[in-house]
Amino acid sequence: MKRKILEKLITWKNKPGRMPLILNGARQVGKTYILKEFAVSHFSRYVYVNLETDATTSAFFDGDLNPSRLVQYLETVTEIRVVPGETLIILDEIQSCPRALLSLKAFCEEASDFHVVAAGSLLGVAVNREKYSFPVGKVDELAMYPLDFEEFLWAMNRTSLSTEIKNHFEKHEAMPVALHTEALELYKKYLIVGGMPASVREYLETGSFLTVKDVQGRILNEYIADMAKYANPATSVKIRACFNSIPAQLAKENVKFQYKTVQRGGTAAIFGESIEWLIFAGIAIKCQKTTQGFMPVSAYADLSDFKLYMNDAGMLTMKSGMATQTILSSIEEENMFLGMISENFVAQAFVCNGFPLFYWKNENTAELDFVVQIEGKVIPVEVKKGKRTKSTSFNIFMKQYNCPYGIRISGKNFGFENSIRSVPLYAVWCIH
């Protein structure tokens, strides 16, 4: 599958002052696959070791971390010659070997001519940075996410449609009705299949939403297994409880994360660490409340108030038990939770495009789904699941903070009227 992150990997390969790279991301987002694709297409050869399954190689890092010694060992076990500039060294599941993580510093300082990339789940790499003596300032980092909707279109062999969407977004021009309808139908399929590569591949091969759910179930089981593996038993139970509560949290009229929804009497002191674990693991996405519409938005964040989304809309659909036919139906206006899946989809797209997530709420009842900074301006973003788009909160924010324009994401076609930019749900990936 074609992935956007490949271009970033190429940039890293050719960058002056390049350091060893850590590719972060939740399990099953395609890190190993893309690194091997990168190696095959841009290097003469590569050596690959999985430090989670290869105990012998993992144990070798307990000794001297001299790069020459490590390279010699890797050549021996893989029988592949490691040549600077021609060979990519891939250290997979690096969170399983703290000393391997530390070796990246040695490669940076003593053998920078080698191309070394490590892949690891955020749950191991990020949460345990202090324990693992993380090589701060000695590595480059990239984050990888599930396929966004444009990548999904590429996988579905609809590259021409993605090009049309981008062109109409840039021109603020409505798509032809037939293409608009087709894009919305594909968007609905994405809400079911999601962006996990294994789920997308299953759908491409079978065309069945039922077997896609089986794949998603296996991925969820891997997440749950990691909760037990990378946390003590007591914390693992709390992490799982917070994770399981996400659909219920989003189903509330007030979608602010409430600890009492996890467990009666729940507090930040009890569950705060568990929520951070889910975020660092890349399994959950946090959207912080901001109380103002001024620059910079982060300066006005209320750290005690936030929303929590899942890392993949398709996984949320499956975990919530939302009926497939409800999503595929054209009568989307009648189901409130479908609106939250759409909001989760937008949150996921914004994170992929590098936006920090914030939502706004004033002292009264006005609330806005997202607030982003684009070209030095604060822009309000409202998400609607269908075509009904009237919102008082949106207008209040626009007027109060004198915004140059606002973005309304819905089932409507492209347009620009009364300082409101209409962006169809299927084109969120175009917003940068």
If you write DSSP's letter for every residue of 329-348 in order, what string do you get?
SS-GGG-HHHHHHHHHHHHH
102, 226: one domain: no
Domain that holds residue 366: 149-430
35, 109: one domain: yes
Instruction: Choose among 404, 408, 2, 6: nearest CA to 197.
Output: 2
What pLDDT is attached to residue 148? 98
45, 162: one domain: no
What pLDDT is attached to residue 393? 87
Domain tally, the chain: 2
What pLDDT is attached to residue 363? 79
181, 315: one domain: yes
273, 418: one domain: yes
112, 227: one domain: no
What pLDDT is attached to residue 387? 60
Q: State the helix-helix crossing angle for 31-42 and 5-14, rounded to 10 degrees.
A: 50
125, 214: one domain: no
Task: Write 129-138 long-range contacts (CB < 8 A, 24+).
Answer: 131/98, 132/95, 132/98, 132/101, 132/102, 133/98, 133/101, 133/102, 134/101, 135/101, 135/102, 135/104, 135/105, 135/108, 138/19, 138/20, 138/104, 138/105, 138/108, 138/109
246, 393: one domain: yes
Instruction: Choose among 161, 219, 225: nearest CA to 189.
Output: 161
Q: Which residues contact 40 (CB under 8 A, 6 or more apart)?
A: 46
Evaluate the omega torsion of the peptide bond into residue 84 and state whether it is cis, within 30 degrees of 0. Answer: no
Cα 7 from Cα 137, distance rounded (Å): 23
What pLDDT is attached to residue 125? 45
The alpha-carbon radius of gyration of the chain (Å, integer) is 23
Q: Which of 84, 113, 143 is the last residue of a domain?
A: 143
Cα 274 from Cα 231, distance rounded (Å): 9
What pLDDT is attached to residue 386? 61
What pLDDT is attached to residue 202? 98
Cα 279 from Cα 127, distance rounded (Å): 9
pTM: 0.93
115, 240: one domain: no
Q: Which of 88, 113, 143 is the last residue of a domain?
A: 143
What pLDDT is attached to residue 124? 57
What is the chain's pLDDT, residue by residue, as a tens digit (432 residues)? 899 999 999 999 999 999 999 999 999 999 999 999 999 999 999 999 999 899 999 999 999 999 999 999 999 999 999 999 999 999 999 988 888 999 999 999 999 999 999 998 865 545 455 566 778 889 999 999 999 999 999 999 999 999 999 999 999 999 999 999 999 999 999 999 999 999 999 999 999 999 999 999 999 999 999 888 888 889 999 999 999 999 999 998 888 899 999 999 999 999 999 999 999 899 999 999 998 999 999 999 998 899 999 999 999 999 999 999 999 986 555 677 888 999 999 999 999 999 999 999 887 777 899 999 999 999 999 998 766 555 788 888 999 999 999 999 999 999 999 899 999 999 999 999
238, 298: one domain: yes
Instruction: List the CATH number of the domain containing 81.
Output: 3.40.50.300
136, 165: one domain: no
Give one DSSP letter per residue of 108-151, joined into a string.
HHH-TTSEEEEEE-HHHHTTTTTTTT--TTS-EEEE--S--HHH
Residue 50 burial class via C-beta count within 10 angstroms: exposed 0-12, middle 13-18, buried 19 and up: middle
Q: Which of 124, 143, 162 is the last residue of a domain?
A: 143
321, 381: one domain: yes
